[in-house]
C-alpha cells in the first residue's frame, strides 16, 4: 500500500495540501484511510451537522446551442422533446413548490438562442413578486456569460440587473473540468474554465454567493481533478464567495461521449467516494460545505459519502431532468423525512438550511 504518512502529518497539523499531495491521494488505493482523513477534517471544520435544503429544481428550457458532449438533456429547436417554459408555467411550478414547503428555487436551463435577456430577468422579477420568501438560486456562470454576450452588457451589469430582479445566488453548474484541453474535448463550445472563474469572481465581488461544481468520471485525468480543485481554492482565497462544492458524477447514457464509444461507463463507487474525500482534503478550510448530491450518487452512496467528507446532502429537488436524461435512476423527489432519516441513520445531526447556508432548524 502507498505511503500517505506525509499527507497525514500535513492534515494533522492543518497544513495546506499542494498539487503533489493531491496526486498522491488520487493515485492511492487505500480508500478507507483517505475517507477517515477526510471525515476527520469534516468533523474538525463543520462538526456533526449535515445540512439539507427544501428546494425545487426548475429547468426553463432544454434548447441549447452549446451541445456539450457529456449532456443528454439538450435538444435543437423543433426537435422532438424540445421545450421552453412560459413564465406562467414557471410561476405554477413555484406555486406548487411553495405549497410543498420549499425555501429555494434552483433555476437552470440552457443557452437558448431564441430567449432574450428580458425573459431571464422577468422570471426572477415575477417569482420574487409572487413568492418573496423563496430564494432564487438561478443561472450558472455559463448562462450569465451567455446573457452578457446576447445583451451587449458586461457580466457585472447582467449580474446587477438580475440581483435587482431578485437573484439570491448562483448555482455551481457549468464548471465541468477547467483543464483547457480536456474541456475542449468534452464541451468545445462552452466558455473556458478561466471565464467561468471570472464570472464567479465578479458575482462574489457584488455580494452574490455561488456554488462550485466539477464533472468527473468521463475523460478527465487525475491531474485535471487536482488542478480543478486547486483553482477553486485559489479563487476562494480571494473572494470567499463559494458556499459549497459539489462533485457531479458523470452519467453516460444518451450522450455524445457514450454514443461514440468514448466513455461508456460512469465512475465507480470507489471513484465517487474518493472524489468527495479528496475534495474535502484539498478544499480544507476554504470551502467548508461539500455536497453529496443524492440525485447523481443515489440514496445509498450519498449517505455513505457523509462518512467520506461530505456534510450536505442537497435537497428535496422535486423535479430533475439533467441526470435523468443521461440514465440517472434515483427518484426525482426526496421528501424531507427521508433526507432526515438518511442523515440520522448515518449518525449525524440533520439540519435544514437556507439557500445561503443559514440554519433554519436542527432536527
Among 138, 147, 246, 290, binds ligand V47 (CB under 6 A): 246
How many Å separate Cα 125 from the centre of its chain?
A: 24
Site residues for ligand V47, 183-242, by CB under 6 A, read: 211, 213, 215
**Cell 433555476 sits at which residue?**
107
Smallest distance from ligand V47 to CB 7, Å: 28
Residue range at the interface with ligand V47 (CB under 6 A); choices 17-25, 154-162, 172-180, 303-311: 172-180
Residue 52 binds ligand V47 (CB under 6 A): no
Query: What is the Cα–Cα distance from 161 to 315, expressed in whole angstroms?
Result: 28
Query: What is the Cα–Cα distance from 135 to 236, expressed in whole angstroms?
Result: 23
Residue 172 binds ligand V47 (CB under 6 A): yes
Residue 326 binds ligand V47 (CB under 6 A): yes
Residues in a beta bridge with 168: none
- Stated length of the chain: 363
Smallest distance from ligand V47 to CB 257, Å: 8
Site residues for ligand V47, 253-312, by CB under 6 A, read: 255, 293
By C-beta, is 37 or 107 nearer to ligand V47? 107
Among 115, 230, 248, 351, binds ligand V47 (CB under 6 A): 248
Number of Cα atoms under 13 Å in the Cβ half of residue 39: 15
By C-beta, is 24 or 330 nearer to ligand V47? 330
What cell was used for 116? 432574450
3-state helix, strand, coil in the chain (%, to 5): 45, 15, 40
Residue 139 binds ligand V47 (CB under 6 A): no
Order of strands across the sheet that contains 349-353: 312-315, 49-53, 349-353, 359-362
By C-beta, is 172 or 350 nearer to ligand V47? 172
Number of Cα atoms under 13 Å in the Cβ half of residue 203: 35
Contacts of 161 (CB under 8 A, 6+ apart): 117, 121, 153
Residue 323 binds ligand V47 (CB under 6 A): yes
Smallest distance from ligand V47 to CB 250, Å: 5
Among 64, 71, 105, 136, binds ligand V47 (CB under 6 A): 71
3-state secondary structure of 355: coil
By C-beta, is 182 or 211 nearer to ligand V47? 211
Which residues in this chain contact ligand V47 in the complex, by CB under 6 A? 70-72, 171-174, 176, 211, 213, 215, 246, 248, 250-251, 255, 293, 314, 322-323, 326
Amino acid at each position: 500500500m502507498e505511503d500517505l504518512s506525509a499527507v497525514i502529518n500535513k492534515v494533522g497539523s492543518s497544513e495546506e495540501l499542494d498539487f503533489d499531495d493531491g496526486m498522491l491521494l488520487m493515485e492511492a488505493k487505500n480508500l478507507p484511510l483517505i475517507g477517515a482523513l477526510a471525515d476527520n477534517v469534516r468533523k474538525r471544520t463543520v462538526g456533526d451537522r449535515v445540512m439539507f435544503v427544501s428546494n425545487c429544481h426548475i429547468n426553463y428550457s432544454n434548447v441549447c446551442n452549446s451541445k456539450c458532449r457529456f449532456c443528454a438533456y439538450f435538444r435543437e429547436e423543433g426537435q422532438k422533446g424540445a421545450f421552453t417554459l412560459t413564465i406562467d408555467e414557471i410561476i405554477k411550478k413555484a406555486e406548487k413548490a411553495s405549497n410543498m414547503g420549499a425555501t429555494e428555487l434552483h433555476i437552470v436551463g440552457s443557452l437558448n438562442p431564441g430567449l432574450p435577456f428580458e425573459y431571464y430577468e422577468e422570471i426572477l422579477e415575477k417569482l420574487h413578486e409572487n413568492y418573496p420568501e423563496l430564494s432564487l438560486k438561478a443561472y450558472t456562470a455559463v448562462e450569465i456569460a451567455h446573457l452578457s454576450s446576447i445583451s451587449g452588457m458586461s457580466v457585472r451589469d447582467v449580474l446587477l440587473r438580475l440581483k435587482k430582479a431578485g437573484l439570491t445566488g448562483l448555482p455551481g453548474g457549468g464548471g465541468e473540468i477547467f483543464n483547457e484541453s480536456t474541456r475542449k474535448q468534452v464541451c468545445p463550445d462552452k466558455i473556458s474554465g478561466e471565464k467561468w472563474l471570472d464570472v464567479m469572481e465578479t458575482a462574489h465581488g457584488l455580494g452574490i454567493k455561488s456554488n462550485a461544481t466539477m464533472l468527473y468520471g468521463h475523460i478527465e485525468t487525475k491531474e485535471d481533478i487536482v488542478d480543478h480543485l486547486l483553482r477553486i481554492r485559489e479563487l476562494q482565497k480571494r473572494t470567499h464567495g463559494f458556499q459549497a462544492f459539489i462533485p457531479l458524477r458523470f452519467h453516460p447514457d444518451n450522450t455524445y461521449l457514450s454514443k461514440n464509444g468514448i466513455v461508456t461507463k460512469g465512475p465507480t463507487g470507489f471513484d465517487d467516494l474518493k472524489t468527495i474525500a479528496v475534495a474535502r482534503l484539498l478544499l480544507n478550510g476554504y470551502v467548508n460545505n461539500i455536497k453529496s448530491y443524492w440525485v447523481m450518487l443515489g440514496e445509498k452512496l450519498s449517505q455513505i459519502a457523509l462518512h467520506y467528507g461530505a456534510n450536505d446532502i442537497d435537497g428535496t429537488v422535486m423535479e430533475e431532468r439533467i441526470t435523468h436524461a443521461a440514465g440517472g435512476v434515483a427518484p426525482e423527489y426526496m421528501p424531507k423525512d427521508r433526507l432526515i432519516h438518511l442523515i440520522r441513520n448515518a449518525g449525524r445531526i440533520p439540519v435544514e438550511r437556507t439557500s445561503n447556508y443559514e440554519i433554519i432548524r436542527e432536527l
